[in-house]
Amino acid sequence: MSFTYPYPRPSVTVDTVIFALRARDLSVLLIRRKKAPFQGGWALPGGFVDENEPLEAAALRELHEETGISGVTLEQLGAFGDPGRDPRGHTVSIVYYTFVISELRVIAGDDAAEAGWHALRSLHLAGGGTGTRRRRAPDVTLAFDHARIIEAARARLQEKLHTPTLGTAFRLVPQHFTLSELQRVYEAVFGRTLDTRNFRARLLASKAVAALKAGEARGAGRQRLYHWQT
């Protein structure tokens, strides 16, 4: 049985925001568009959802086709569908995001002429970033409303760190971590340098983390390992 509706239906796309650690900063995976609109511009990996295709499956497919990346765990960020965001017509994008500890190897394909990791400070983001770290002039302007999407994904990461027991499909740090490793993640996600003594004092006072038993350590100076309290 077929149905018709007395109003136009928007197109549905998916986009994926993948963050990675780069020193004490974040980088994000982008592709250079091979076709119009915004031909030659940088954008998030993504594309149109095929008929009868689940949304997350579409996001994983487009990510693999355009960057060669597979096997990552995604979490849905939300929907973006403001009129005018896509010059081809009314398009609603369902956005997924994730975080990886280090930048993965990428291979451009399909609609991507190029794929690569870009430091957030190099992007022209509407919010201009957070924190007190000085930012150099942006050299990458993003297609569509992808600057807004990246800002929203970063804000969601910040929420995860404010509420570390909040359920998430992926981990911002390994299951067991040193306080130095955790501070590095906080500094990258929030975009500012933190005083080590104050950071550790406030974190331990909050009871958000707990130390593993004595003798479990790693890294330089055999730093003690911790885990999130659940």
Here the tokens at position 175 are 């299951």
| C-alpha span between 113 and 128 (Å, rounded) | 27
Of the residues 56, 62, 75, 114, only one is catalytic, namely: 114
CA distance 8 to 12: 13
Residue 216 is among the residues annotated as catalytic for this protein: no
Taking the CA of residue 105 as centre, how many other CA atoms within 13 Å lie in the half-sphere pointing to its CB? 0
Q: Please give the angle made by the CA atoms of 142, 144 and 146, to the nearest 5 degrees.
A: 60
CA torsion 182→187→193→196, rounded to 10°?
Answer: -10
Q: Which residues are the active-site residues?
A: 114
